[in-house]
């Protein structure tokens, strides 16, 4: 039985029928795996995986001044992106710390969709509402009414194309549209007569698509994709999503991003549009801060099979603690331990030899550039 204290996605019964193991993730009952983490990870790297991401937040902003409102609310210049395009951005606190990282889609000249992390959806909604005051812009949290299903992996385009041709339920998007769709672009169509968004975005380091439909259509969409995918498509849980994003060097809020971290520390300084726009929330904090002496994010690799976990200490060759691991795992693709860590900038040079404390035992490692893995 599901925990009454946890929220469930519209696909929970589907996951239970598939034998999923569940975990509490940001207050949601979510499938962490269906069988083998390793098999699910490899499926995404070699063919394709299907994910339920309906716990994510969907916040719509509509009105003639929405572009200006988002320029003020977020770190990037959102008014400059074209209709049908997406942009990664940050919601900053007044002091320059990161409240959340988000994807913003421009669906029309006066309509934007902000996709928030599950743990921050309510906070992001309130922040956007507050920051939109004074602009001709309405903000609506449509998270509970929206389902998000992702297909990720080298076979994802073929699977989505086959789903389009399967039974006529998907309308308004053609196979050629999918073939022509570039990364960080979005198409609008219908599924069973309801609105559908098809975005070429993802969080795995592979080609992939994210499909947004009303929550009541989630099961039918999942089933259609699974039928179209056949042996090419594997249901995947949050465990492999985490190792996939770690290999790709993608930050996770609460690990590589947070209110106590400036964007520059996480390698996100380029996201902050200091030169491209004037006033925005967090600008004064960024300009008043000096990140030069603060810990910076680096990649670490090691030999063997022992993997560092979040908050493991990182020491230099003299035994001095110089930082902490933010995320770590044994890489299924590369076959050796990898980690991201925040370390003293004086010790962050590529090739520097360090030691990670893995449950009381030393693990020699070296600093490498991110990402650890890039698709060919």
Nearest CA to 152 among 252, 36, 52, 261?
52
- Is the pLDDT confidence value at 81 over 50? yes
297-309, pLDDT tens digit by residue? 999 999 999 999 9
Together in a domain, 42 and 70: no
Within-domain flag for 281: no
Together in a domain, 232 and 108: no
**Cβ atoms of 366 and 352 closer than 8 Å:** yes
Which segment of 53-57, 167-171, 300-304, 310-314 scores lowest on mean pLDDT? 167-171
Query: Could you tell me the two tokens for 268?
Result: 């996100």
Together in a domain, 116 and 23: no
Together in a domain, 51 and 153: yes
- Give pLDDT, residue 5: 87
Together in a domain, 46 and 64: no
User: Of all helices (H) and strands (E), which one includes residue 160?
Assistant: helix 156-166
Residues 264-270, mean pLDDT to the nearest whole number? 97
127-156, pLDDT tens digit by residue? 999 999 999 999 999 999 999 999 999 999
Residues 356-365, mean pLDDT to the nearest whole number? 96
Q: What is the DSSP secondary-structure string of 24-51?
A: EETTEEEEEESS-HHHHHHHHHHSEEEE
Q: Is the peptide bond before 82 cis (omega within 30 degrees of 0)?
A: no
Torsion, Cα 123 129 132 134, to 10 degrees, reads: -140
Confidence of residue 362 (pLDDT cuts 50, 70, 90): very high
Q: Which class for 108: exposed (0-12), middle (13-18), buried (19 or more C-beta within 10 A)?
A: exposed
Within-domain flag for 271: no
Within-domain flag for 18: yes
- Is the pLDDT confidence value at 253 over 80? yes
- Give pLDDT, residue 4: 58
Indicate which CATH number applies to the domain containing 67: 3.30.70.1400
Together in a domain, 119 and 77: yes
Residues facing residue 355 across a β-bridge: 315, 364
User: If you search the block for the tokens 């991401």, which residue do you land on?
Assistant: 53
- Give pLDDT, residue 1: 41
**Which structural domain, as residue segments, surrounds residue 235?**
7-56+145-246
Together in a domain, 167 and 25: yes
Within-domain flag for 173: yes
Nearest CA to 187 among 61, 62, 83?
83
Which segment of 112-126, 159-173, 316-330 scores lowest on mean pLDDT? 159-173
Residues 180-200, mean pLDDT to the nearest whole number? 97
Contacts of 122 (CB under 8 A, 6+ apart): 57, 141
Residues 354-375, mean pLDDT to the nearest whole number? 97
Together in a domain, 77 and 123: yes
Residues 46-75, mean pLDDT to the nearest whole number? 98
Confidence of residue 3 (pLDDT cuts 50, 70, 90): low
Together in a domain, 337 and 349: yes
pTM over cut 0.75: yes
Nearest CA to 53 among 327, 301, 241?
241
Domain boundary pick from 229, 246, 263: 246
Structurally, the chain folds into a number of domains equal to 3
Together in a domain, 102 and 150: no
Residues 233, 227: Cα–Cα separation, whole Å: 9
Within-domain flag for 260: no
Torsion, Cα 173 88 276 293, to 10 degrees, reads: -170
Together in a domain, 27 and 124: no
Within-domain flag for 124: yes
- Give pLDDT, residue 167: 78
- Give pLDDT, residue 2: 46
């Amino acid at each position: 039985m599901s925990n009454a204290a946890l929220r469930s996605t519209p696909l929970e019964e589907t996951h239970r029928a598939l034998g999923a193991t569940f975990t509490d993730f940001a207050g949601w009952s979510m499938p962490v795996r269906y069988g083998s983490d390793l098999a699910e990870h490899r499926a995404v790297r070699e063919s394709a995986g299907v994910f339920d991401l309906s716990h994510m937040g969907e916040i719509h902003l509509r009105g003639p001044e929405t572009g200006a409102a988002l320029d003020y609310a977020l770190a990037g210049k959102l008014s400059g992106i074209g209709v049908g395009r997406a942009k990664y951005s940050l919601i900053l606190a007044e002091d320059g710390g990161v409240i959340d990282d988000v994807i913003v889609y421009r669906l029309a000249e006066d309509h934007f969709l902000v996709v928030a992390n599950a743990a921050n959806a309510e906070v992001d909604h309130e922040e956007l509402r507050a920051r939109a005051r004074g602009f001709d812009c309405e903000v609506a949290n449509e998270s509970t009414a929206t389902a998000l299903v992702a297909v990720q992996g080298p076979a994802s385009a073929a699977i989505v194309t086959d789903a389009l041709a399967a039974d006529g339920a998907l309308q308004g998007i053609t196979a050629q549209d999918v073939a022509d769709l570039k990364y960080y672009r979005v198409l609008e169509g219908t599924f069973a007569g309801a609105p559908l968004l098809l975005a070429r975005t993802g969080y795995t380091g592979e080609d992939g698509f994210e499909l947004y439909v009303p929550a009541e259509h989630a099961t039918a969409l999942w089933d259609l994709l699974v039928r179209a995918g056949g042996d090419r498509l594997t249901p995947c849980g949050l465990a492999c999503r985490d190792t996939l994003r770690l290999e790709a060097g993608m930050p996770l809020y609460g690990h590589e991003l947070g209110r106590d971290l400036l964007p520059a520390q996480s390698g996100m300084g380029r996201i902050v549009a200091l030169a491209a726009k004037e006033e925005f929330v967090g600008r004064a904090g960024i300009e008043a801060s000096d990140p030069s002496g603060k810990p910076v994010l680096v990649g670490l690799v090691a030999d063997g099979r022992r993997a560092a976990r979040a908050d493991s200490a990182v020491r230099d060759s003299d035994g001095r603690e110089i930082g902490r691991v933010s995320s770590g795992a044994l890489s299924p693709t590369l076959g050796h331990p990898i980690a991201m860590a925040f370390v003293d900038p004086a010790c962050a040079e590529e090739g520097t030899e360090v030691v990670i404390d893995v449950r009381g035992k030393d693990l020699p490692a070296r600093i490498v550039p991110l990402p650890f893995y890039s698709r060919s």
